[in-house]
Amino acid sequence: MNAGINYPALAVLIGLFLLVTVMGFWASNWRKGAHLESLDEWGLGGRTFGTLITWFLIGGDIYTAYTFVAVPAAMFAFGAVSGFFAVPYTIILYPIIFIYMSRLWSVSYRHGYVTAADFVRGRYGSKELSLAVATTGILATMPYIALQLVGIQAVLEVVGLGGSSSVIAKDMPLFIAFALLAAYTYSAGLRAPAVIAFVKDGLIYLVILVAIVYLPSQVGGWARVFEAAQSKMTSLNAAGRPVGVFIPSAQAYWAYATLALGSAMALFMYPHSITATLSSRSRNTIRHNATILPAYSFVLGLLALLGWVAIAAGTKPIGLDGRVNAQLVIPQLFEDFFPGWFAGVAFAAVAIGALVPAAIMSIAAANTFTRNIYREWINPHATHAQETNVSKIVSLLVKGFALVFVLTLDKQNAINFQLLGGIWILQTFPSIVFGLYTRWFHRWGLLAGWAGGMLYGTIVAYNVINPATGNHFAGSLSLIPVIGQMGYIALTAFGINVLVAAVLTAILDVAGVPHGHDETTTEDYLADEGDPRIEKHRGSVAPVGG
């Protein structure tokens, strides 16, 4: 790579970055509601977003720097199982969320819930279970935000920034980018990422279209790309094993399918996905979106293939420290083949693609902290203004933690950060999704199942060791007990979780341990825009009606 700084690219990158910064600050005046001080306004954009904005918001949420950097990097380094599973994952995602997210929207609309843990609290009448769901949500979001930082870092490194030996100068651009993000998220709340998402998606679609048409022709066409990928993946490494996977063999079927299914089930348990869903205007907004969101999956698949285009192009992703870093492969590919200014546009797409989800994630984690930890356990009589203020401050803290996270863990496998979070977050699935359909499960059974799943998942993930570096948490696959195949740890942990919850529920019911108070009724799960909200004993709660 070029040793120096790519000035045309850097200029375009800074220009586009300033543009979204201005938009982010301006967003606080956009579609302003009447109840400025409530968490509904800051944290859910007033629950007024229609199909189009929700499409951009959820798209901005799901298709992140993870998409742009880590998926092609995994394709480049390890092949189809580690990388291309993202395609079936984001396809089956939509039928899955179609089934239950509209129910969650309805009951949340009816009862003014802002987070999943709010729902769990109302459904099971259990502060403890709600705390478990809230804590897991916050815990799982941290590495996800960190992943966005890895994306920005990769871009900055290829542009030529951050090569200084001084620790402060090295991470300075990242700090500045994050400080600006923190500032406009603080002032505009969810409206900031909603506005920026338009620019982000515009840039991403532009870059992908150009890349997918132009790059393969430069390296000899698609047939040549697949040839190069096959020969790299089937060649043997130093240990005498294949480098990666071109097309999954029989041993990898379970891994591929469980990664796709587990990730799809996990994604909409994250606070940020729920925030984007609940900010929509009506029950059908989310279902409409489930039918049009797959457009992004197509783009994601093309992006994944760019990892193999990079193999054919002979891209050398070498960091400023002189070591190979697969995470740099896509920015490096762009820099090698595009003129400086367009490389800048592509880099901006990656960087802004990281800012939008980072903003939504920090808002969602902050909402969760405020509603389910601060109000529940610390200050039960908090006013709406106090709630909003706590959320704003926590959104800053969360970003700070994410910075620490990214500077202390193994960056080479950014994708595993997200997969580790996925293991944890999937353990809240029974409490949330089963709860949308049935009250059969006992609150203590669910809590015990959650604890079992978390414990199993964390221990097993810890024991996955990178043979080259000896690092723990080196992957998300492990042997599935009974079935005896390699599979996604999260899904195995989920199985244990459900088993424990079901057995304990049966025992607790026989023992006559009471279930908690359920404040919801069957019809609440089908409420739609315009239906009256449930009056709560908390003064002027949510603004009524769509």
Partner 1 sequence: MNHVERDVDTSTAPPANKALMTVACFFLALPIVALLWVSSYARVEPTLAGFPFFIWYQFLWVFLCAACTWAAHRTILIARPRRRLSARSATGKGAGR
Cβ-defined contacts of 392-396 (< 8 Å, 24+): 392/42, 392/186, 392/189, 392/366, 393/366, 394/365, 394/366, 394/369, 394/370, 395/182, 395/185, 395/186, 395/362, 395/363, 395/365, 395/366, 396/182, 396/186, 396/362
Query: Which of 250, 482, 510, 511 touches partner 1 (CB under 8 A)?
Result: 250
Query: Which of 235, 321, 538, 546 touches partner 1 (CB under 8 A)?
Result: 538
Min dist. Cβ of residue 15 to partner 1 (A): 34
Query: Which of 213, 217, 438, 537 touches partner 1 (CB under 8 A)?
Result: 537
Q: Which residue from 296, 297, 274, 345 is spatially nearest to 104, judged by alpha carbons?
A: 274
Min dist. Cβ of residue 350 to partner 1 (A): 22
Min dist. Cβ of residue 461 to partner 1 (A): 22
Q: Does 531 bind partner 1 (CB under 8 A)?
A: yes
Q: How far is it, in rounded angstroms, from Cα 10 to Cα 5?
A: 8
In terms of CB distance, is 400 or 546 closer to partner 1? Answer: 546
Q: Does 384 bind partner 1 (CB under 8 A)?
A: no
Min dist. Cβ of residue 387 to partner 1 (A): 13
Report which secondary-structure segment, H or E, holds 98.
helix 86-111
Q: Residues 258 to 317: which contact partner 1 by CB under 8 A?
A: 260-261, 284, 287-288, 290-292, 294-295, 297-298, 301, 305
Q: Are 261 and 491 in contact (CB under 8 A)?
A: yes
Give phi and psi for 125, each to the nearest 5: 60, 35
Min dist. Cβ of residue 62 to partner 1 (A): 14
Buried-state track 529-539, b at ≥16 Cβ within 10 A, e below 16? bebeebeeeee
Give phi and psi for 536, each to the nearest 5: -110, 165
CA separation, residue 300 to residues 63, 398, 422, 453 (Å): 8, 27, 19, 30
Min dist. Cβ of residue 518 to partner 1 (A): 9
- How many residues bind partner 1 (CB under 8 A)? The answer is 62
Q: Which residue from 462, 453, 461 is spatially nearest to 495, judged by alpha carbons?
A: 453
The structure tokens listed for 191 are: 């409206």
In terms of CB distance, is 91 or 407 closer to partner 1? Answer: 91
Min dist. Cβ of residue 7 to partner 1 (A): 37
Q: How far is it, in rounded angstroms, from Cα 534 to Cα 277?
A: 20
In terms of CB distance, is 8 or 546 closer to partner 1? Answer: 546
Residue 399, classified by CB atoms within 10 Å of its CB into exposed (0-12), middle (13-18) or buried (19+), is: buried
Q: Which residue from 411, 352, 423 is spatially nearest to 56, judged by alpha carbons?
A: 352
Residue 4, classified by CB atoms within 10 Å of its CB into exposed (0-12), middle (13-18) or buried (19+), is: exposed
Q: Which range of residues in 60-68, 94-102, 194-202, 454-462 is near partner 1 by CB under 8 A?
A: 94-102
Residues recorded for the chain: 546
Q: How far is it, in rounded angstroms, from Cα 482 to Cα 233?
A: 30
| DSSP one-letter code for 50 | -
Q: Does 99 bind partner 1 (CB under 8 A)?
A: yes
In terms of CB distance, is 250 or 511 closer to partner 1? Answer: 250
Residue found under tokens 């999943």: 116
Q: What is the dihedral of CA 510, 512, 518, 522, to 10 degrees?
A: 40
Give phi and psi for 245, each to the nearest 5: -120, 125
In terms of CB distance, is 31 or 538 closer to partner 1? Answer: 538
Min dist. Cβ of residue 98 to partner 1 (A): 6
Q: Does 443 bind partner 1 (CB under 8 A)?
A: no
In terms of CB distance, is 46 or 516 closer to partner 1? Answer: 516
Query: Which of 80, 188, 343, 502 touches partner 1 (CB under 8 A)?
Result: 80
Query: Which of 25, 35, 51, 125 touches partner 1 (CB under 8 A)?
Result: 125
Q: Residues 206 to 225: which contact partner 1 by CB under 8 A?
A: 221-223, 225
Min dist. Cβ of residue 54 to partner 1 (A): 15
Q: Does 247 bind partner 1 (CB under 8 A)?
A: yes
The structure tokens listed for 433 are: 């999704």
Min dist. Cβ of residue 199 to partner 1 (A): 24
Query: Which of 163, 242, 248, 495 touches partner 1 (CB under 8 A)?
Result: 248
Q: Residues 15 to 74: which contact partner 1 by CB under 8 A?
A: none
Give phi and psi for 412, each to the nearest 5: -50, -35
Q: Are 355 and 196 in contact (CB under 8 A)?
A: yes
Q: Which range of residues in 15-23, 410-418, 487-495, 536-544 is near partner 1 by CB under 8 A?
A: 536-544
In terms of CB distance, is 37 or 529 closer to partner 1? Answer: 529
In terms of CB distance, is 249 or 463 closer to partner 1? Answer: 249
Q: Residues 459 to 518: which contact partner 1 by CB under 8 A?
A: 516-517
Q: Does 244 bind partner 1 (CB under 8 A)?
A: no
In terms of CB distance, is 269 or 409 closer to partner 1? Answer: 269
In terms of CB distance, is 233 or 508 closer to partner 1? Answer: 233
Residues in Cβ contact with 52 at an 8 Å cutoff, skipping those fewer than 6 apart = none
Q: Does 134 bind partner 1 (CB under 8 A)?
A: no
Given the rule CB under 8 A, which residues bind partner 1?
80, 84, 87-88, 91-92, 94-96, 98-99, 110-111, 122, 125, 221-223, 225-226, 247-250, 252-253, 256-257, 260-261, 284, 287-288, 290-292, 294-295, 297-298, 301, 305, 380, 516-517, 519, 521-528, 530-532, 534-538
